[in-house]
Amino acid sequence: MANASNQQYAHLARPYALAAFQFALEKEQLPAWKVFLNTAALVASDTQTLKLLKNPATSVTVLHDLFREVLAPLNVSAEQQNFLALLAQHQRFMILPEIAELFNVNYAQLEKISKIRLITAVEAEQGYKQHLAQILAKRVQREVTLSCEVDPSIIGGAIIHIGDRVIDGSVRRKLTRLLQNLAG
């Protein structure tokens, strides 16, 4: 059920993210909009804010004022204020995390940055991560950002996610294949 909700949020967020991205690109304000949307997404994801967003008794004005106040230190532009007002008018503050995510995907594509996820059984050493990032950057012919996760269940080795591709070099996968070969 949560997955259907996330898909619905992504569907609703797409036009807002695209409009914000196109505007920021035209006005050469991509970094400022990225910071604005990511910060707004953090605010919308906060447990206290979520309680307000989910409470039907919370007025649109209260929510709009909350976001304006919390985001004020960013020196929010008039266009960003208008964006917040539009979200308030259509009661769309809840989808800010999806808007930011879609904006970031467009930004990364424009900047030719590939986001790569590395999963290891234990924390990878910094030197290893840097070396891997260099190798992967050559392979995908783009700058890469590497996000690392630890999952002891893979036993050893690594799993690398590059976009929709997965390179599974985990010990768990190798053991599973061995068991399948022995059984089959």
So what's the pLDDT on residue 173?
95
User: Residues of CATH 1.10.520.20 domain(s) within the chain?
Assistant: 2-108
Out of 1.10.150.120, 3.40.190.10, 1.10.520.20, 1.10.760.10, which CATH number does the structure's domain 2-108 have? 1.10.520.20
So what's the pLDDT on residue 1?
39
Alpha-carbon distance of 56 to 106, in angstroms, equals 33
> pLDDT tens, 109-136?
887 877 899 999 999 999 999 999 999 9
Please report, as a single letter, which amino acid is at residue 173: R
Q: How confident is the model at residue 2 (pLDDT cuts 50, 70, 90)?
A: very low
pLDDT(24) > 60: yes
pLDDT(41) > 50: yes
User: Residues of CATH 3.40.30 domain(s) within the chain?
Assistant: 113-183
Is the full-model pTM beyond 0.85? no
So what's the pLDDT on residue 7?
67
Task: Provide the sign of the torsion angle of the four alpha carbons 60, 61, 66, 72, taken in this order.
Answer: positive
Residue 162, sorted as left (phi over 0), alpha (psi -120 to 50) or beta, turns out to be beta
Strand 143-150: give its sheet, edge to edge: 143-150, 113-120, 157-162, 165-170
Instruction: Please tell us whether the domain made up of 113-183 is placed in CATH 3.40.30.
Output: yes
> pLDDT tens, 134-146?
999 898 888 888 9
Hey, how many other C-beta atoms are within 10 angstroms of the C-beta on 53? 17
